[in-house]
Structure 1
Amino acid sequence: MTMNKCIRVPLKDAEKIRIQLAGSGRLDPHRKIKLIDTHQRLLEIPVTEDIEGFESYMQENAEFYNKWQSLEDILKNDISSNELEKLPSGWHIIGDIVIVTIDPTIDHLKVMIAKALLQMYPSCNTVVRDLGISGQFRLPKREILIGNNTETINKEHGCLFKLDVTKVMFSKGNLHEKKLMSKIGTHETIVDMFAGIGYFTIPMAVHAKPEKLIAIEINPQSYGYLKENIILNKVEHIVEALNGDCAELTPKGVADRVLMGYVNTTHHYLDSGIAALKPKGGIIHYHETTPESMVFSRPVERIKTAALKAGRRVEILDCRKIKKYSPGIWHVVVDARIS
């Protein structure tokens, strides 16, 4: 951290705020929480960004959990300068597991890198190497470098997600979209056509509290964790989970809102998504991976074509980019009202 940002909170509120910040990924895990005023009983909580409702401060004399602050610092005396340049620049922390991509040309350093990462993150106990994804179910290809526990519980935005990182995907890159979805749908009936382990289902059920949420997932592994996460987050009274192909299981004419949070072949399911909406209409949140040159035009056109085929009208409410999916390809979302 080059800018040691923090917020100051009363001691009595600190634990509640710390849990909220950790759940939303905004607590800086590298720095310690410090008592700065024994009279007023104020704590400084280290954060990674400005927090709404709090004034930000630059933390002086920050105390770090570990001596080293980068992978390069730990390994610079043990490897060559050429190898140093090829070290991974980023990784994901999911629960108590580190997931890292390592350049194949420094394969011989993989265990050394894994040990260094555990030195940086003492609360973690397993390091897994990411080798990409494959197949219809987007199954992760991963190699365990250190540790043997690949099942974990990830806390995010006040929700709990249990998963095995070698069996199902968990993207931390669309946290903003999850937060956005968690604020809408109160008192509605929602269909999540590609629910996974509950990426959108759980935040919506926990925070927005819809009347009913039907979550459909075809992958048996993901479906198993979806059911566990529904129980873990105490939303059994809201969520109904279905295991199978959403082209066959998506109900017709029942939804105020439909989530289509898959990519690559999502457009093949637009007919089912539109048919799921109530006769009076509703809103679709349609995800797609799109070339830069047609970043919003193609998904918008596909929605309009599918709606016209169903004899319905379309109003485009919003278009937004989620993240770069691959070179020249964007993961985008289009919100459309269908009537």
Structure 2
Amino acid sequence: MKYQNPKQVLLSRLTEVMNSLNLWKDELKNEIPSSWERYNNFVIFNEKYFRSEKWYIAGSKVWIEVCKIFAVENIALKGRIQCDGYRTPNTKVVWGNSKWVKYTDNGIHYTWLIEHNMFCAGNASERHRVAKLNCEGETVVDLFAGIGYFTIPFLVYTKCSHVYACEWNPNAVAALKLNLKKNNVAIKCTVFEGDNRDVCPMNVADRVIMGLIPTSRKSWDVACRALKLCGGMLHLHENVTSKFRIELKESNMSEICQICENCLICLEMNSFSVALPVSISFGTTVMSLDNTVCSVYKGPQISLWKKYEWLCWAVHTVHTISEILLKQHDTPWKVTTKGLNYVKSYAPHIDHLVLDLECRPVTNN
């Protein structure tokens, strides 16, 4: 059977339907979707499609045809995420009897209320990556659990012993608890409903997930407090902007961190040497002005970093986390970058990255 491009099939069939109802106008061609999100029982289009009232005059004739093409029962249109702290989607169901989306990814069953919760299919690479980690016997804290994007892969695949999942959106909590049951892992998860700054347990975690974009900075202090006294791993998500202006301090030619405005000073073999980040080799220890200790990922040469701004962000982040840990424990902690993972481009010059940090108290041995 000859392959048929779904975009062409959609265009052909909807044009035919609208012509049969004497509703077709050439300008409607631009409102026929060229992209979509398809789940087990839903297809979701951007709200820029199907804008004309003619589609709604056609009503069921159009929606039934769309359902046949995608083999689903429900259709929704999605706008921009609301700025309400919950990242609530602007989504409305235009056809179907259910508002619960069902989706199976990497053997995990997810469900969520389409008009109240979001699900980013573009994060699949990170969900699959963390599912491959070996966390046998570990306790994990997920500070932004949502419906279980990362909580459930950790529970199903990584052999961790328990996950403490923090979430403040009541609709997300309901979906999270349902998903824990659907995947038979509820017994290994404790859900803390509320702001993680208020409800997250302290000194319990071998590993902390901070899966919030554009940034999770308001909870970095919480993440550090959640770590066991012997330390552990942080998985820190952020949208990182490239093409920013680099400021250099002429007096000593050291670089000024764009965020905290401190100089980034290299410390090699216990002797200070001022250098720009472009000259930092992997494995170099970076020391901030208040003597907190951190180190850059030990791996290939710096030229293999895809973007220079990614390195600047990583250096800033490791020394900021080490400063937080120093203040909390009144003793230095070593913060080492174990990996920098690209998830997706969120917008031009904005990249969703995940920084894996190992945090350990410095011993005098």
TM-score, structure 1 as length reference: 0.75
CA distance in 2, matches of 1:115, 1:68: 17
**Aligned match of 1:103:** 48
Moved more, 329-338 or 147-156: 147-156
- 1:227-242 alignment runs, 5 A limit: 227-242=177-192
**Does residue 292 in structure 1 map to residue 231 in structure 2?**
no
**2:7, 2:33 → 1: CA distance?**
16
Cα deviations by residue, 1:176-204 (Å, 9 ceiling, x for unpaired): 11011112222211001100010011111
Give the aligned residue type for 1:304. Answer: H
What does 1:34-183 correspond to in 2, within 5 Å? 61=1, 70-77=9-16, 78=19, 79-103=24-48, 106-108=51-53, 110-111=55-56, 114-122=63-71, 124-134=72-82, 135-183=84-132
Aligned length in residues: 277
Query: Aligned equivalents of 2:121 and 2:6: distance in 1?
Result: 27
1:192–1:258 CA contact under 8 A, matched in 2: yes
Deviation by residue 1:219-269 (Cα, 9 ceiling, x = unmatched):
011011111111111112211111011112222221111100011240111
Measure how far apart 1:328 and its partner are: 2.5
Distance 2:185 2:232 in 1: 23
- 1:116 and 1:288 map into 2 onto residues whose CA distance is 40
Aligned residue in 1 for 2:291: none
Alignment of 1:253 with 2:195, yes or no, is: no
1: distance between equivalents of 2:314 and 2:27? 43
- Partner of 1:313, secondary structure, is strand
Q: In 2, Cα distance between the equivalents of 1:273 and 1:210?
A: 18
> Is residue 2:193 matched to residue 1:243?
yes
Listed as ranges, the matches of 1:270-289 within 5 Å are: 270-289=220-239
**1:324 alignment partner, one of 321, 325, 345:** 345
* Structure 1: distance between partners of 2:64 and 2:52: 14
Work out which of the residue numbers 222, 227, 244 in structure 1 matches 2:172: 222
2:358 maps to what in 1?
337
Q: Which amino acid aligns with 2:34?
A: S
- Superposed, 1:203-222 pairs within 5 Å as 203-222=153-172
**Kept in 1: contact 2:148–2:179 (CA 8 A):** yes
Name the aligned partner's letter for residue 129 of structure 2.
L
After superposition, the Cα gap between the structure-2 partners of 1:105 and 1:170, relative to the gap in structure 1 and judged at 3 Å, is closer
Q: Which amino acid aligns with 1:108?
A: E
8 Å CA contact 2:318–2:336 kept in 1: the answer is no
Shift of 1:81: 4.7
Structure 2 equivalent of residue 198 of structure 1? 148
Q: How much has 1:163 moved relative to structure 2?
A: 1.0
Residue 67 and residue 168 in structure 1: after superposition, are their counterparts in 2 closer, same or farther (change >3 A)? closer
Q: CA RMSD in A?
A: 2.4
Question: Could you tell me how far apart the structure 2 residues matched to 1:98 and 1:292 are?
Answer: 33
Unaligned runs of 5+ in 2: 244-308, 327-332, 361-365
Post-superposition CA distance 1:61-83 (Å, at most 9, x none): 4688x999632222345445543
Measured against aligned partners, the alpha-carbon deviations of 1:18-50 in whole angstroms (never above 9, x if no partner) come to xxxxxxxxxxxxxxxxxxxxxxxxxxxxxxxxx
Stretch moving more, 81-90 or 251-260 = 81-90
Query: Displacement, 1:308?
Result: 2.2
Identity of aligned residues (%): 27
Contact 2:233 2:356 (C-alpha < 8 Å) held by counterparts: yes
Unaligned runs of 5+ in 1: 1-60
C-alpha displacement at 1:166, in angstroms? 1.0
SS at match of 2:52: helix
Q: Deviations over 1:156-184 (max 9, x none)?
A: 11111121111100111111110111122
Q: How far does residue 126 in structure 1 lie from its aligned partner after superposition?
A: 0.9
Q: Distance in 2 between matches of 1:197 and 1:300?
A: 31
